[in-house]
Structure 1
Amino acid sequence: MKQPLHIIKIGGNVIDDPEKLSAFLRNFSGIKEPKILIHGGGKIATELAGKMDIPQQMIDGRRVTDAETLKLITMVYGGLISKNIVAALSANGDIAIGLSGADANSVLANKRSANPIDFGFVGDVAAVNSGNIDKILQAGFVPVFCAITHDGNSQLLNTNADTMASAIATAMSGNYESFLYYCFEKKGVLEDVENENSVIHEINPSNYEKLKEEGKIFQGMIPKLDNAFSAIQKGVKAVHILQAEDLSSLILTKRAYGTRITA
């Protein structure tokens, strides 16, 4: 029987709120089975870009990553946010190590084509070095990945953290029973974004298409759900989208929280 591995992506307003992040990390440290954390930090990067007079361009909610912005997000994701998370986890008793996809050649990506839209230095995951990540886990470390990858030719690339989490969970499912969690400030996928209690408790391919047709899936949630279904179809045991504060309760008690994605 394969050992469970929990791959957790933390995002949304939790990253920006020190109290919420601290509470989440305490709960995360309560998970004693092997685990991997993936984080972004776009709002903090945008805030600092304003203070540093680095113009930011967004297209359909996606950041255009020019050379100066790439420097900024490398500092913010791989430095400021990563090291604060690692320090907090260390205080909680975890032996955490902050990584990008370039570290240990963990996650390789291809620079996205400039056609039809040039997003600059943005990468789409091409390969995950599960063997090297497994060595880190076997050494007793908790990997904390920021959403930066590399192309194998010394170029760093900004990469969607949801996609990165899905790719890592999929790659690790060969040696582990992989469980993927997308944690943010909402209770799950909501049928009505104005109603916190309108959680859709289970989404499968059939009702997913129906919910989209009826306009009941918030547009910004669709890429996350697509990543979730991709992971399930490629061997990940289970995917949950849930409120960050419910993570440890879901894992430790097996009770139902948030939205479960099923094949």
Structure 2
Amino acid sequence: MKTLKIIKIGGNIIDDDSALQQFLKAFATIEAPKILVHGGGKLATKLAQQMKVEVKMIDGRRITDADTLNIITMVYAGKINKTIVAQLQANSCNAIGFSGADGNTVVSDLRPSKPIDYGFAGDVKKVNTETLEILLNNTITPVFCAITHDRNGQLLNTNADTIASELAIGFATKYKTELYYCFEKKGVLEDVNNDDSVIQNINTKTYQPLIENGIIYEGMLPKLNNCFHAVNNQVQKVCIGKAQMLFQKDNKHTTITK
């Protein structure tokens, strides 16, 4: 069974043109099959301010009203996604950009309005792999933005970490799937003030004590919940750390396994 790498990058790479170019040049050298998932970075917020559309956030999550959905569709599925695809082509990596609506690949339900109404936010319901398998079998790399659809014509803003996790789960019966979350830290830290205090291995037994002892909290909890959702659904392993973990064998990062 082949190994499929699903790699998610966030704003720390997207917001820095030089870092993005450097990452994509290295990503292009990773042996196929592979899928790239990207977040939105700060560009959507910047464009909203220029267009005088109020940016509303609750607990770090964007409230997606109709105007905001228009902006993030332009930015995520347009500017960012197509820039990444074009740069991959420049590095001899044949890529195609995707939202969840393209090829009916990722279907979501509108998130319930209680206790908090996030507007046009989607929770992933189903991943359809058929179209993506054709591409992967022909060494074409799908590049996903953080937008899905509900099969009734409605686009939905969807967490990119969740899309990456659900894609990995969706392919787990067809490939040995590995999920990589690239972000600004070296990994999950034992001490948030010490960038070198990386917890190199976490499994289902050691995870709960880390929460109970207050080592893992707030912003890391949703990311790690996605990680364990993946490893509990046949994903081989999940790695969290800086993008260098993909290219440097001795790079310190966090690996999550069952």
Would the TM-score normalized by the shorter structure come out above 0.5? Answer: yes
Partner of 1:132: 131
Is it true that 1:205 corresponds to 2:200 in the alignment? no
Partner of 1:183: 182
Residue 185 (structure 1) shift: 1.8
Q: Supply the AA of the counterpart residue of 1:258.
A: H
Q: Percent identity?
A: 54
Residue pair 2:203, 2:256 contacting (<8 A) in 1 also: yes
List 4+ stretches of structure 1 deviating above 2 A: none
Secondary structure of the structure 1 residue equivalent to 2:31:
coil
Secondary structure of the structure 1 residue equivalent to 2:152:
coil
Aligned residues between the structures: 258
Instruction: Measure the CA separation in 2 of the matches of 1:218 and 1:21.
Output: 29
Residue 194 (structure 1) shift: 2.0
Q: Supply the AA of the counterpart residue of 1:239.
A: V
Residue pair 2:244, 2:251 contacting (<8 A) in 1 also: no
Partner of 2:141: 142
Residue 207 (structure 1) shift: 2.0
Residue 256 (structure 1) shift: 5.9
Residues 202-246 of structure 1, C-alpha deviation per residue, up to 9 Å, x if partnerless? Answer: 111222211111211241011010000000010101110010123
Residue pair 2:13, 2:20 contacting (<8 A) in 1 also: yes
Which of residues 241, 246, 258 is equivalent to 2:253? Answer: 258
Residues 18-72 of structure 1, C-alpha deviation per residue, up to 9 Å, x if partnerless? Answer: 1111111111111012000000114221122112111011111111100000000
Secondary structure of the structure 1 residue equivalent to 2:6:
strand
Instruction: Measure the CA separation in 2 of the matches of 1:218 and 1:92.
Output: 39
Instruction: Measure the CA separation in 1 of the matches of 2:45 and 2:247.
Output: 30
Partner of 1:110: 109
1:21/1:7 Cα in 2 relative to 1: closer, same or farther (>3 Å)? same
Residue pair 1:27, 1:245 contacting (<8 A) in 2 also: no
Any unmatched runs of 5+ in structure 2?
Answer: none
Partner of 2:44: 45
Secondary structure of the structure 1 residue equivalent to 2:62:
strand
Secondary structure of the structure 2 residue equivalent to 1:117:
coil
Instruction: Measure the CA separation in 2 of the matches of 1:12 and 1:76.
Output: 13
Instruction: Measure the CA separation in 1 of the matches of 2:194 and 2:50.
Output: 34
Residue 146 (structure 1) shift: 0.2
RMSD of aligned residue pairs (Cα, Å): 1.2
Q: Supply the AA of the counterpart residue of 1:95.
A: N
Residue pair 1:38, 1:146 contacting (<8 A) in 2 also: yes
Residue pair 1:23, 1:245 contacting (<8 A) in 2 also: no
Secondary structure of the structure 1 residue equivalent to 2:42:
helix
Choose 122-131 or 192-201, whichever is displaced more. 192-201
Q: TM-score, normalised by structure 1?
A: 0.95
Any unmatched runs of 5+ in structure 1?
Answer: none
Partner of 2:81: 82
Instruction: Measure the CA separation in 2 of the matches of 1:61 and 1:182.
Output: 18
Choose 180-189 or 65-74, whichever is displaced more. 180-189
